[in-house]
Structure 1
Amino acid sequence: MGNVGTIFILCLTLNGFYLISSKCLSHEEELVYQWVSVEFLWPNDTFKQEYIDTGKYIPENNAINGIKVYNDSVFLTIPRLKVGVAASLVMIDKTSPSESPGVSAYPSWEMHIQGDCNTLQLVQSMEIDPENGLMWILDTAYVPSSPIEVAKRCLPKIVVWDINENVEVYRYVFTKEVITDPFYLNDLVLDYGTQKEVQYVYMSDTLGRRMVVYNHIEKKDYVFFHASFERNMMYSNITINGVSEMVPLSINGIAISDDFTYVYYCPMASQTLYRVPTSALRNSKTDMNTAVQTLGSKDIQSDGLYFGKGGSLFYSTLGQNGVYRWDTITNTKEAVVTNATIEWVDSLGMDALGYLWFTSNNLHKYFKNGTTPGKSNYYVWKVYVGEKGYLDVPKRGPRHACSDTDSIGTHPAEINEKWVSIDFEWQSCKQLESAVESNTFIAKNNEVHGIRSYNDKIYLTIPREKTGVMATVGVLDKQIVRPFPWSAMNKIGDCNALQSVQSVEVDINTGYIWMLDTGKSCDPKLVVYNLKKNAEVFRYEFTANELGQKHYLEDIVLDYIDYRAAFAYISDSAGQKLIIFDIAKRIARYVTHSSMNYETQHENITIAGTQTGPHHKGIKGIALSPNFRYLYYSPLASTKLYQIDTSVLRNNRSTDADIDNSVTEVGNKDFPTSGMYSSQRGLYMTDLTKGSIVKWSYSASGSFENGQVPSKTEVTKNCLAQWLESPYVDENGNLWFTSRNIEPFFGNSTMAKNFNFYLWKSNIGESSYLSGQKREASFGIKPAGGAMPLLVPILWMAMKYIFIF
């Protein structure tokens, strides 16, 4: 069982879509294969006996090292570190039911003739591009056990083999001028740069204490030397479960970031992790003294390294019997696997299903005393991390949908967070795997919408407009969404839980979050939760009479009277009406008006050059003036802004005529609006056609003066902000809003190669319309009729940390 650890996924494919950041609170490694000694699948018994008789096959000397996975095949390397290694590159069919399967010489027995420089001599590592099935085989050629004179040894080479076509497509033999004795080409990574084909290959030369570069564009090789490649004799002794071995080796493990920007490496006799920009390695004349960067200590010696899709650098921990992860973005490290029975984790690889594969081979015993008869010595493991390897599509990681990504305006907004797709905190990676397999979680369907904050915590809504949304309300934590208040309160189909929350409002005066659940198959409800006490205050289920036959609850604002939240106003875009909730009396009603209806001439909205629609949505975004005199609103399919007196809305005796007389057209916005928010100084609205936030300034009275055109300002604009939602002003003077690309939003494309969801932030130096309403005597909400607030049931509290789907 692995230790509790955290895995962040910055670009993962699940359900055919790339995730941004997944967090598993625990991991469970699985033993896939184990061998006492490696057995081959021989052409026939005579062939096998000949290998045994001539010493070409000594079972106990075949130690598994490297590993990569492609489709239904597992590829392993067995370097010729001792005599009797029958083949240096082998394959296992993943569908084999055996726990100790025979291995096949790959690509053929004819490609493993020792002493024939046209064949593979000693393969320590290989890499496979999952997109095209090309295997890049690094044949270091140097065979420590061989009696062949140094001058007659084969030169190292790279052989590119097409797995799908089973044919060699290219090879490169290194030059004697570059590969000089001593040498041992240990590991390799592929650099695609900005192209569709490999541009460079970087290799660690462990005995030569250098990094070798192969320029595939110009078909040439060169080498770099640097002090960071050298061993540190202080760390040359490796102790695993009480058994020590001197391993004074230099640069060994090597990895490359998924955007092909940095190469990471470390000597085996060292605890320090280094990196160097690929821009430096691509130039043979680079001064490495100015290029190498020291990242910090791993606190243990390592063998293999491997980079996932994003900032995840996985590395073996030899003295800690496992695999750790270094978050190269936050420069932090954490355990993925620690298991005392896993001795000498050697090589790492990743498959298409989110598994990290690795080998363990007891090398400290292999070199010291040999293998243990009757006991398994070589192992293949896998652990679900929900992440793919650095070479998986899209290569170079996700990109922005447009090129000019700088914001403009009076207060240009900056990207606070960005995602290809939203992901959540999971109790275990096994649970994530199960959710993916059952379509309980479909990554591409989780689309961020609303945003609010309180005490520096950011709350997001992910409406269940599509299937596979794990939680509809969450708290943001380093790109990860933690279900709020907890997982069980987001269980789909449980009408006691939140089903589909479009919007929330946070009352900064009380610390209450008002969650508007449009209901899906359950009745719509309003759930009020105390963020300070972590307890439900009350909930209200709307009746059919209060909502009508057609409804979709969009937005919510709070109306204060005498320093107390007295009413909540809720927009219903499908029913084209405004719902009025009397907080003290716990009753709801609705009003309608023609100004709340969508306009057919504006039902199609052009965003980023693409026409979307028809949008048959009425009143959507709503906001209150800071003096609480007016409610502002606009249908989605309209360009007009309206206001209505709150005095009329508060009065349950107001007639249709009263409503009609109270509604006023403030002005023509000339753009459709999905959301709006009121600060103390103005009304902030989304302009969908321009990808901007526009401010209409209030007069000194805290609202718009009748008959006067308000001052209009473009606050921020960015081509990345396509469908903008949920503008909001926090306690620190920051304007927040979300945006999402229109393609995944409207289901036309998953856009797996692009960032699709953004969280924006701009410091405008203003405060929310709710600011200044705090009074010591009015911290709570009076329960109706003296009734006590509905607290969270004990059962819910017991289930707080249990995932239920």
Structure 2
Amino acid sequence: MRAISLIIALTAAISCKAALPELRFAWKQIDYIWDSSAQRETAVQNGLFVQANNLPLGLARWKNKLFVTVPRWKNGVASSLNYVDIDGAQDQPLKAYPSLKDNLVSDTAESLPSNSSIISVFRVFVDPCDRLWVMDSGLADIVGSPNQIAGPSVVIFDLNTNKLLHRYFFKVSDMKEDSFFANIVVDVDKDTCDNAFAYIPDLGGYGVVVYSLKQDDSWRISHHYFHFEPLAGSYKVGGIEFHWTDGVFALALSEPRENGYRTMFFHAFSSTKEFCVSTELLRNYTHIDKNEAFHDFKLLGDRGERTQSSASYYDTNTSVLFYTQINRDGVGCWNSNKPYTPGNNPLLFTDSKLFEFLNDLKVDEEGILWLLSDKLPRFLYKSLDPNEINFRIFSIKASDAIAGSTCE
């Protein structure tokens, strides 16, 4: 009888163990699919491809494609916008999107070779209208010899045809001296595809730019909550200590509320607090009283110490906000139906090796949570070992990820 009880207890313990993300892709170094081996060799010789300088950062899924961005942190990034086949090999080379020709641009170029050319992309967004929204910073060799090849722009592709739909360059009034645009989220319903709004955080200039597709116009929003916290700018990841002053970076959109507008959750990278605002205010900001609007931005709460986050995504199926945990090598969550407290923001899973600097995450239309880790601090401040796995992409059902936690 005692043995049976022990077996039952062990079975219960195993069944209650939280599900862990599955490793889907892993690379020691990034390479691409080239037109020929000669093309690759020429790119290496000409400095267009320096393999050690290519680091994946952002992701987004559309059907059988998983988009993976490679920003031009350093010189020699062959292609900034790419994808892999969902069912392909774990270490498959990246496929440039929309083509290698559109991405293979010299770091010293003085202008865009064509309107569909891609310079440097951190994050992308797939909308319900089968469009890929790309925030192209236009800046090459960021930490080396920075070269602003083109102004920051929003680039939109039709995913069914792989054709460029539109490119919009930011106005001078959208930018500040220290502006840096590295993320984008899109507010649109599949029944009103023309009435789309993109929200782009300015982590260096502490603001948010709103772009209206229908109006083909943009405007800048400023607020104190877009700034970083002075006491939350210190990090230690992978044994490397560093200090960043990054402002608003992570944006996430809820489902439409009763009035038809969504809630935008946001936080600065160097912060442990979460805020929110209605997209009604963002869309109509140019027509409202700015002093009155100030109080429409709300503080939700604080996650607790060492909870800085690089990315967040709201899953409409579970009403849960997922976010990365940079200092804690993992992923956290918050059920939006509960108060925003440290106790309601659990660490779902953590691993200092597998999840070293989780840079981006997304939930796809099938309810799958995708995660990308890339050891960014080592890449920026030391060097990566080409003989070990440096970049990983994981997936897990969002509902499985929160099972048994306070986010369920």
Shift, 1:752, TM fit: 2.3
Structure 2 partner of 1:485: 98
Shift, 1:563, TM fit: 4.0
Structure 2 partner of 1:689: 327
- Describe the SS at the equivalent of 1:527: strand
CA contact (8 A) 2:129 2:190 kept: no
Structure 1 partner of 2:8: none
Per-residue CA deviations over 1:682-735 (Å, capped at 9, x if unaligned) read 100101111111110122xxxx66x88883343332222111122101122210
Pair 1:623 & 2:242 matched:
no
Whole-angstrom CA distance in 2 between matches of 1:488 and 1:575: 32
Shift, 1:740, TM fit: 1.1
Amino acid at match of 1:728: K
Decide whether aligned partners of structure 1 residues 412 and 562 sit closer, same or farther in structure 2, where only a CA change above 3 A counts.
Answer: closer
Aligned with residue 514 of structure 1, among 106, 109, 133: 133
Whole-angstrom CA distance in 2 between matches of 1:498 and 1:542: 15
Aligned runs of 1:275-424 on 2, under 5 Å?
410-424=18-32
CA contact (8 A) 2:248 2:267 kept: yes
Structure 2 partner of 1:499: 119
Pair 1:454 & 2:62 matched:
yes
Amino acid at match of 1:645: S
Task: Structure 1 unaligned segments of length 5 or more: list them.
Answer: 1-407, 767-805
Shift, 1:742, TM fit: 4.1
Aligned runs of 1:730-745 on 2, under 5 Å?
730-745=364-379
Whole-angstrom CA distance in 1 between matches of 2:173 and 2:355: 38
CA contact (8 A) 2:134 2:155 kept: yes
Decide whether aligned partners of structure 1 residues 742 and 531 sit closer, same or farther in structure 2, where only a CA change above 3 A counts.
Answer: closer
Amino acid at match of 2:133: W
Structure 2 partner of 1:538: 166
Per-residue CA deviations over 1:432-481 (Å, capped at 9, x if unaligned) read 11211222101111110110111121111111111100010001143210
Decide whether aligned partners of structure 1 residues 722 and 562 sit closer, same or farther in structure 2, where only a CA change above 3 A counts.
Answer: closer
Higher helix share: 2
CA contact (8 A) 1:683 1:697 kept: yes
Aligned residues between the structures: 353
- Describe the SS at the equivalent of 1:441: coil
With a CA cutoff of 8 Å and minimum separation of 6, indicate the structure with the bigger relative contact order: 2
Whole-angstrom CA distance in 2 between matches of 1:562 and 1:751: 44
Aligned runs of 1:210-289 on 2, under 5 Å?
none
Structure 1 partner of 2:220: 590
Structure 2 partner of 1:574: 204
CA contact (8 A) 1:744 1:756 kept: no
Amino acid at match of 1:746: L
Aligned with residue 184 of structure 2, among 528, 552, 556: 556
Aligned runs of 1:129-278 on 2, under 5 Å?
none
Shift, 1:610, TM fit: 2.7
TM-score (norm 2): 0.81
Structure 2 partner of 1:649: 282
Task: Structure 2 unaligned segments of length 5 or more: list them.
Answer: 1-15, 140-147, 401-408
Structure 1 partner of 2:152: 524
Whole-angstrom CA distance in 2 between matches of 1:633 and 1:532: 31
Shift, 1:532, TM fit: 0.8
Per-residue CA deviations over 1:243-279 (Å, capped at 9, x if unaligned) read xxxxxxxxxxxxxxxxxxxxxxxxxxxxxxxxxxxxx
CA contact (8 A) 2:238 2:378 kept: no
CA contact (8 A) 1:424 1:481 kept: yes
Decide whether aligned partners of structure 1 residues 712 and 600 sit closer, same or farther in structure 2, where only a CA change above 3 A counts.
Answer: closer
Whole-angstrom CA distance in 2 between matches of 1:676 and 1:646: 17
Aligned runs of 1:770-785 on 2, under 5 Å?
none
Per-residue CA deviations over 1:539-595 (Å, capped at 9, x if unaligned) read 111121222333211211112369435311111111111111112101001111111
Pair 1:669 & 2:295 matched:
no
Whole-angstrom CA distance in 1 between matches of 2:101 and 2:35: 12
Whole-angstrom CA distance in 2 between matches of 1:516 and 1:641: 23
Decide whether aligned partners of structure 1 residues 438 and 544 sit closer, same or farther in structure 2, where only a CA change above 3 A counts.
Answer: same
Decide whether aligned partners of structure 1 residues 559 and 416 sit closer, same or farther in structure 2, where only a CA change above 3 A counts.
Answer: same
Whole-angstrom CA distance in 1 between matches of 2:45 and 2:170: 35
Shift, 1:737, TM fit: 1.4
Whole-angstrom CA distance in 2 between matches of 1:481 and 1:594: 40
Whole-angstrom CA distance in 2 between matches of 1:708 and 1:460: 33
TM-score (norm 1): 0.42
Decide whether aligned partners of structure 1 residues 562 and 503 sit closer, same or farther in structure 2, where only a CA change above 3 A counts.
Answer: closer
Structure 1 partner of 2:33: 425
CA contact (8 A) 1:648 1:658 kept: no
Decide whether aligned partners of structure 1 residues 730 and 656 sit closer, same or farther in structure 2, where only a CA change above 3 A counts.
Answer: same
State the structure with more CA Rg. Answer: 1
RMSD between aligned alpha carbons? 2.2
Deviation >6 Å, runs of 4+: 707-710
Structure 2 partner of 1:140: none
Structure 1 partner of 2:403: none
Whole-angstrom CA distance in 2 between matches of 1:672 and 1:577: 18
Whole-angstrom CA distance in 2 between matches of 1:641 and 1:487: 39
